[in-house]
Chain A
Amino acid sequence: EAGVAQSPRYKIIEKRQSVAFWCNPISGHATLYWYQQILGQGPKLLIQFQNNGVVDDSQLPKDRFSAERLKGVDSTLKIQPAKLEDSAVYLCASSRTGFNQPQHFGDGTRLSIL
């Protein structure tokens, strides 16, 4: 099966600009996650969707980050305005419905803030 698709692979912007990332999960996976991975650290959960509803966004900096999954398939994550500390890899993952299902990750978008 095709894996999780993410675009773009790389993005360079200046601070205070806005940026958006796109994710297409594995076909049939109802649950979708966005993680932030700062260099040298493990991924940190930002938001979890079940179909088009938000399950957990407790770690999403809502003053600048937003995410949507309007039709329950593709998702976008937006940052506006970006700060220097947002430089990271943004990873999307998906899993089947149900507890304790393994999450499968895309290769992420590497964001650099100048």
Chain B
Amino acid sequence: GESVGLHLPTLSVQEGDNSIINCAYSNSASDYFIWYKQESGKGPQFIIDIRSNMDKRQGQRVTVLLNKTVKHLSLQIAATQPGDSAVYFCAENIGGGADGLTFGKGTHLIIQP
């Protein structure tokens, strides 16, 4: 089965609220995680990454949290805007020399006006 998965296929939030998108992974050897945003008809767009020696990383309006104890990753988006509507994927790399990523199925974030 997949080693990376997401809890919810769709998440609906009000514009201006904070969004939290969750991801569970099963491979404890994973050492690098990335969040991507994918809009319709486009390729995945890099949002933020985190290495396994960290538990939190912040970017512009986004924060990624990593809990290695329960193998859980989350993406927090502050003050959600209409342009944040997209499918969000978490992806992991299990190292070992090859850097190909394993993706989950994605969460569709819908912004309500």
Residue numbers of A with Cβ under 8 A of B are: 4, 31, 33, 40-45, 48, 55-56, 91, 93, 95, 99-108
- How many residues of B sit at the interface, in one of the four size bands? 20 to 34
Q: State whether the Cβ of B25 lies closer than 8 Å to any Cβ in chain A.
A: no
Known interface pairs A42-B105, A105-B45, A107-B41. Does A33 touch B89 (Cβ–Cβ under 8 Å)?
A: no
Known interface pairs A42-B89, A102-B34. Does A31 touch B99 (Cβ–Cβ under 8 Å)?
A: yes
Q: Determine if B101 and A45 form an interchain contact, defined as CB atoms under 8 angstroms apart.
A: yes
Bound CA–CA A103/B104 (angstroms): 16
Q: Determine if B43 and A107 form an interchain contact, defined as CB atoms under 8 angstroms apart.
A: yes
Smallest Cβ distance from B4 to chain A, in angstroms?
8
Known interface pairs A42-B106, A100-B31. Does A56 touch B100 (Cβ–Cβ under 8 Å)?
A: yes
Bound CA–CA A45/B45 (angstroms): 16
Bound CA–CA A44/B45 (angstroms): 16
Q: Contact partner of B42 among A41, A100, A107, CB < 8 A?
A: A107
Smallest Cβ distance from B15 to chain A, in angstroms?
26
16 inter-chain pairs at a CB distance below 8 angstroms, sorted by A residue, are A31-B99, A41-B103, A41-B105, A42-B4, A44-B103, A45-B101, A45-B102, A48-B99, A93-B43, A99-B32, A99-B99, A100-B31, A103-B99, A104-B46, A105-B45, A105-B46
Smallest CB-CB separation from A95: which chain B residue? B99
Smallest CB-CB separation from B89: which chain A residue? A42
Bound CA–CA A91/B91 (angstroms): 15
Smallest Cβ distance from B49 to chain A, in angstroms?
5
Chain B, residues 37-60, CB within 8 Å of chain A (1/0): the string is 000011111100101000000000
Bound CA–CA A55/B89 (angstroms): 24
Q: Determine if B93 and A33 form an interchain contact, defined as CB atoms under 8 angstroms apart.
A: no
Q: Determine if B43 and A4 form an interchain contact, defined as CB atoms under 8 angstroms apart.
A: yes
Q: State whether the Cβ of B1 lies closer than 8 Å to any Cβ in chain A.
A: no
Q: Determine if A42 and B99 form an interchain contact, defined as CB atoms under 8 angstroms apart.
A: no
Q: Determine if B43 and A105 form an interchain contact, defined as CB atoms under 8 angstroms apart.
A: yes
Question: Which residues of the other chain, B, contact A55 by a CB distance below 8 angstroms?
Answer: 97-99
Q: State whether the Cβ of B82 lies closer than 8 Å to any Cβ in chain A.
A: no
